[in-house]
Amino acid sequence: MKTLAAIPCYNEELAIGSVVLKARKYVDEVLVVDDGSTDDTVEVATAAGAVVVSHEVNKGKGAAIKTALKYAATEGEFDALVLLDGDGQHDPNQIPLLIHLLQDDTADVVIGFRNLNQMPRYRILLRLATLTAIQPVRLFLHAVYDACRVLHCCRHIYSVHRVGAKCYL
């Protein structure tokens, strides 16, 4: 299964290199969608072995995800796409758990998430703030809709919840 890890990011020069290097162990290609960063994100991601697509200005995470979806659909005949955050919050070592469900045809779409115990407190506050804002939610829903259009069908959508070394569906 040819797999692409896509990492939308903005000003993540401190973490992006590590995320790319870890993700490369599990996928065929790593794409970093630089959303108009003003730091050295592009240089660090490139040095770590990622393909980089850049937005000239910051358009937001939803637009970066759309760029990743377009790339996955047009640039490499990928069978699977894994989206990771560029700040190191998502553990690339979990990629095999997500891909396994696709490989054995258990699911067409797999969504991984953390519970509140696994999330730093500042992220909890940020998530609550984001949930109250209409625009980011609308952009995320558009990105999910676009992903389903790219996949052409979604027979099953499973959530994978990681607790320690166990995986619950």
- Residue appearing with tokens 């809709």: 145
Return per-residue pLDDT of the chain as tens, 169 residues. 899 999 999 999 999 999 999 999 999 999 999 999 999 999 999 999 999 999 999 999 999 999 999 999 999 889 899 999 998 888 899 899 888 888 888 777 777 765 656 666 665 666 666 655 545 555 655 555 555 554 444 434 444 443 333 333 3
Report the SS3 class of residue 56: coil
The 10 Å CB-count burial string (b at 16+, else e) for 32-45 is: bbbbbbeebbbebb
Give SS3 for 46: helix
Query: For the whole model, what pTM was predicted?
Result: 0.71
Q: Report which of 64, 67, 68 is spatially closest to residue 81, judged by C-alpha positions.
A: 68
How many Å apart are CA 131 and CA 83, to the nearest integer? 20
